[in-house]
Amino acid sequence: MTNQALLIIDYTNDFVADQGALTCGQPGQALAPKIVKLAEETHEKGGWVLLPTDVHTPNDPYHPETKLFPQHNVRGSWGRELFGPLKEWYAANQSADDVWQFDKTRYSSFAGTDLDLRLRERHVDTLILTGVCTDICVLHTAVDAYNLGYRLIIPQDAVASFDPAGHTWALNHFKTCLGAELI
């Protein structure tokens, strides 16, 4: 086992597929080979492959995103399924102890989850962040990880956003404010 974990954040149909409710479209779709390659390499090395995945209930009056975005990533829907080849990779590897998908209901993978506890139990101190959107869920996960003392690695060809300016801004923020290593 290694002290690293790969987080594949919100790589679902609603955020990536052409028909997705909040899709990144082609920039998100182009990540698929790189994300699957990173998952396979991490898994082969005995590292942790984690899939924090946004989940919602329709028209939730208590969730702040209901007012900001169209309905997306509804539990049990096509939109919440993992996108493309990642869905296949996860189906083939989900029974492994070092691979797990978990629900998140906020932008950060840490908010309201036991992620920090599970990482510390496994002596993980370095997170490789991939997925979408660079300037929303990846960013908020990175900020929380930084504040919790994790080392951050961001593969630039494994994150995307529907907002090119936001994507560029977030990459700069990762490096200059969070001390992340951009590769």
Q: Over the chain, what is the mean pLDDT?
A: 95
Tell me the C-alpha distance between 56 and 141, whole Å. Answer: 18
Predicted local confidence at residue 53, as pLDDT: 97
- Predicted TM-score of the model (pTM): 0.95
- For 36-45, the pLDDT digits (tens) are 999 999 999 9
DSSP, collapsed to helix, strand or coil, labels residue 58 as coil
Q: Residue 105: give the domain boundaries.
A: 4-182
- For 110-139, the pLDDT digits (tens) are 999 999 999 999 999 999 999 999 999 999
Give how many domains the chain has, as a whole number. Answer: 1
CATH assignment of the domain containing 31: 3.40.50.850
Backbone angles phi and psi of 53, in degrees to 5: -130, 120
Tell me the C-alpha distance between 61 and 38, whole Å. Answer: 37
